[in-house]
Structure 1
Amino acid sequence: MKLSCSLVWFILTASVAVAKTHTLNYTASWVKANPDGLHEKKMIGFNGEWPLPDIHVEKGDRVQVYLTNGFDDGTATSLHFHGLFQNTSLGNQLQMDGPSMVTQCPIVPGQTYLYNFTVPEQVGTFWYHAHMGAQYGDGMRGAFIIHDPEEPFQYDHEKIVILADHYHENYNVVTQEFLSRYNPTGAEPVPQNILFNNTMNVTLDFTPGETYLFRFLNVGLFVSQYIILEDHEMTVVEVDGIYVKPNVTDSIYLSAGQRMSVLIKAKDKMPTRNYAMMQLMDETMLDVVPPELQLNQTIQMTYGHALPQAAALNIEDCDLDRATNDFYLEPLVERDLLSHYDHQIVMDVRMINLDDGVKYAFFNNITYVTPKIPTLTTLLTSGKLASDSRIYGDNINAHFLKHNDIIEVVLNNYDSGRHPFHLHGHNFQIVQKSPGFHIDENYDESEQDKMTVPYNESAPLQPFPERPMVRDTVVLEPSGHVVLRFRADNPGVWYFHCHVDWHLQQGLASIFIEAPTVLQERETLNENYLDICQAAGIPVAGNAAGHSNDWFDLDGLPRQPKPLPKGFTAEGYVAFIVSFIIGVWGLYSIAQYGIGEVIPNDEKVYHTLREILAENDIEVPRN
């Protein structure tokens, strides 16, 4: 059948009109800012400005982001588009995924990397962020919204809400203090504040009778957050880019990495006052709560600026357990349970001190250690050896997935903290999710294994849902378990990691190497990729140790530190550190008394040491 010239022209122009190309040029550099109004610090801006811009595209569009490293202090970087599949069937899109030393080399100062990809099928709320160290905690992050011309709900206004925790110190400083023998218990750094759209003391204007779509994103490094409404309701309509059947609530919970879109209907008539939207830290995630820490802030839902301001809600009166549980949500487009699995991966989560005194995070007794070259480079340059686990090294927790197999991932939490796990390249079904099994803060860490409730395949805690919730980031509860399923239909090198970034820095990560031979047929390392690696001094071929002459030679490969000597514990390190402080103080006192004229305040020092000992559960000597 022949098409008329006019019909061909119509089809071509319609395609051009629908699919757009968004070309964005960003230079990353340090910018002075004062997000919480209490402390000026250097944040990471684009083109000299912070906060970073939100990116809006439509389904089917092409995105071209030219990212130039403009840091003047040697800082390297990379960029990840959180939640996007980067479908490798579209050609060379895996190189756009972003995690440094996984699917690309770091971008060093003066270099530019092009992130060039399409978004053919996904819609909804996503975000972009640095994926190197804890860098995005200093502000290198923004919303990435894929608009859908066939959205299954209606509203009058759209609002994007960025939730984040905020640290006054630079991420490198905080990381160094955290991953230290002087923090042997592995206590996560406590943020100084929480931000709402990159600031504090926010007012949201509402008009009676109108409906608002709020896209909430938790882009923080650590703390999960609640949003609680006063005398209003939220209807959940989208989670992590998945439309869900409407679910009505007055409180939601978002871990780091999670997104949730809700409809909020304003009052039909002009009220006589304004209302509170409460933003609240999940304080159960904090090892200590400093007395100066503000755990919540009140966002004004304002109908009229002349009306009385809303008072903060009494948090003790709020039932936080009512916050939406994603296990009981259901996708709007019905997707049946993947009723079986072809390959099961069981991963036990633990936090353990190694012989350098640092507390690391482990999957099955392996803590992730960055190889010398990106795992994608190893796969694409290894030929027939691509499926041989030996060339990828000991410390990336590699798991090999066959093309189109159904994969079941079982996570058992032998830790007392929450862990939001994120999978690159896929969404997954949540087929089991246990509640948290909270334990007393004074528990004996050596007894943790006895307190954990691992997944029992023969006797699951809940019936498998017929149509499970689907998303890309899920919370593994304290001492509990979660079971996920997905189809391995996107060949690639996919990062699976905890999105509490401090835990990722401790090594809580794994690499899913999916259909490597199929990936070799689809993907070749582009010139820009190779240039970036060469500028960083990283080999463009070879095994995990950077060797290509002998693919099984792993000499020089970074590996995890050795185990602690038998019988030595984190508490032993605390006692050693305190003893060291006491010894140094003793030498200082001798010097002062012997040759100095100033008498030290012994009583003050004595009480300070008593406090240190008591905080670490070490017996306090009597006067």
Structure 2
Amino acid sequence: MKLLLLLLFLYAVTAKRVELDWNLQYKNVNADGLFERRVISINNEWPPLPVELNVNDILVIHLQNNLNEVTVIHAHGINQNNGTNHMDGAGMVTQCPIPANHNFTYEFPVTQAGTFWIHSHYKVQYMDGLRVPLVVRDIHEPFHWDEDQIISLSDWYHQDSYTNLEQYMNHDNIEGVEPIPQSGLINDHVNSTISFKPNKTYRLRFLNMAGIATFNVYLDGHDMQVIEVDGIPTQPTRTGLIYLAAGQRVSVLVKTKSTTDLNYILHANMNPAMFDYIPDGLKLSK
């Protein structure tokens, strides 16, 4: 009994309540440098800031929907098995969507460590930019690294998600051809730079937040050691390339070189097999 009380006390001491105020509103951005379009921003910021927690924290998101459409958000990969299934955010499944100009508060404990993401779960709305990396750290993780980096991958459309969905579901689209993106993004940009220090071990947290695209990822001149897949720790496995389907997350450890005289390219290449055709101008490699 004393041990149980001690464990409960330690849980209460280590866990904290993380409260976020999210105001959803539209914003125009030109993420790929080719076309400006409307996205869904959080507090007028896009891309939105990642959410970073420690295991056993309680996440509270006060969501104000200032869009002209309904919305919900879902913590992808987080188990809502603590009596919080109504906080799962699956529209018309576990929750009625939040109407325009209304608000809702999400609150649930986060008991899993790893790499996750939060995104809209209403139709294909997250492809309009309502998606955020979620990282949950645990001081007792079995692996060691000096620093970590969040690296999001996504496909990018110049049309809004509802236009793409309407074209896809149209009765004239008898072959079910899916919409093809105009660009691929790393950390929501086309020319991202990731800084490394020499003789350091980095944990790279890759998230595929795309709607359709899958990515082949490799780093010139470096091997990668996989230590997590979809929020689950793995036996360390060395590889030169990782493959991420939409929604997947993979963490790898990378040991940097001892010198800084060279730059190395991080490749995140969209797999053409996922597309019905390759339009002119689409760059599959990054």
Provide the residue aligned with 1:290 in structure 2.
279
Distance 1:34 1:152 in 2: 41
Distance 2:160 2:223 in 1: 38
1:35 corresponds to which of 31, 50, 53: 31
1:64 corresponds to which of 52, 56, 60: 60
Distance 1:11 1:102 in 2: 35
Once the two structures are superposed, residues 416-448 of structure 1 have per-residue CA deviations (whole angstroms, 9 ceiling, x without a partner) of xxxxxxxxxxxxxxxxxxxxxxxxxxxxxxxxx
The 3-state SS of whatever aligns with 1:279 is strand
Preserved contact between residue 11 and residue 56 of structure 2 (Cα < 8 Å) = no
Distance 1:22 1:34 in 2: 31
Residue 112 (1) aligns with residue 82 (2)? no
- Kindly report which structure 2 residues correspond to 1:447-462, keeping only aligned pairs within 5 A, or say none: none
Structure 1 residue 17 displacement after superposition: 3.1
Residue 86 (1) aligns with residue 80 (2)? yes
| TM-score, normalisation: structure 2 | 0.95
Once the two structures are superposed, residues 546-577 of structure 1 have per-residue CA deviations (whole angstroms, 9 ceiling, x without a partner) of xxxxxxxxxxxxxxxxxxxxxxxxxxxxxxxx
Residue 47 (1) aligns with residue 36 (2)? no
Distance 2:8 2:279 in 1: 62
Provide the residue aligned with 2:18 in structure 1.
22
2:206 corresponds to which of 198, 201, 216: 216
Identity across matched positions, percent = 39
Structure 1 residue 15 displacement after superposition: 4.3
- Kindly report which structure 2 residues correspond to 1:238-277, keeping only aligned pairs within 5 A, or say none: 238-267=228-257, 269-270=258-259, 272-277=261-266
Residue 123 (1) aligns with residue 86 (2)? no
Once the two structures are superposed, residues 283-331 of structure 1 have per-residue CA deviations (whole angstroms, 9 ceiling, x without a partner) of 011111012111111xxxxxxxxxxxxxxxxxxxxxxxxxxxxxxxxxx
Distance 1:156 1:239 in 2: 20
Residue 186 (1) aligns with residue 176 (2)? yes
Structure 1 residue 231 displacement after superposition: 1.5
2:267 corresponds to which of 242, 264, 278: 278
Distance 2:152 2:13 in 1: 31
Distance 1:30 1:55 in 2: 20
Distance 2:55 2:11 in 1: 12
Larger helix percent: 1
Q: 1:280 to 1:2 in 2, by over 3 A?
A: closer
Distance 1:29 1:234 in 2: 38
Once the two structures are superposed, residues 146-196 of structure 1 have per-residue CA deviations (whole angstroms, 9 ceiling, x without a partner) of 111111111111100110000011111111111112221111100000000
Q: 1:185 to 1:233 in 2, by over 3 A?
A: same
Moved over 6 A (4+): 10-13
The 3-state SS of whatever aligns with 2:265 is strand
The 3-state SS of whatever aligns with 1:77 is coil
Task: Return 5+ residue gaps in structure 2 as ranges.
Answer: none
Larger strand percent: 2
The 3-state SS of whatever aligns with 2:70 is coil
Provide the residue aligned with 2:151 in structure 1.
161
Structure 1 residue 271 displacement after superposition: 5.2
Once the two structures are superposed, residues 16-69 of structure 1 have per-residue CA deviations (whole angstroms, 9 ceiling, x without a partner) of 430101111111111111111111111111111111221111111111111111
- Kindly report which structure 2 residues correspond to 1:157-556, keeping only aligned pairs within 5 A, or say none: 157-267=147-257, 269-270=258-259, 272-297=261-286
Letter in 2 for 1:78: V
Q: 1:12 to 1:104 in 2, by over 3 A?
A: closer
Distance 1:2 1:196 in 2: 50
The 3-state SS of whatever aligns with 2:171 is coil
| TM-score, normalisation: structure 1 | 0.44
Provide the residue aligned with 1:97 in structure 2.
88
Residue 152 (1) aligns with residue 142 (2)? yes
Q: 1:2 to 1:12 in 2, by over 3 A?
A: closer
Letter in 2 for 1:282: N
Distance 2:105 2:249 in 1: 26
Task: Return 5+ residue gaps in structure 1 as ranges.
Answer: 298-623
Structure 1 residue 235 displacement after superposition: 0.2
Structure 1 residue 213 displacement after superposition: 0.3
CA RMSD of aligned residues (A): 1.8
Provide the residue aligned with 1:323 in structure 2.
none
Distance 2:230 2:247 in 1: 9
Provide the residue aligned with 1:521 in structure 2.
none
Distance 1:199 1:170 in 2: 18
Distance 1:278 1:259 in 2: 16
Structure 1 residue 13 displacement after superposition: 7.1
Structure 1 residue 272 displacement after superposition: 3.8
Distance 1:67 1:220 in 2: 23
Distance 1:235 1:246 in 2: 6
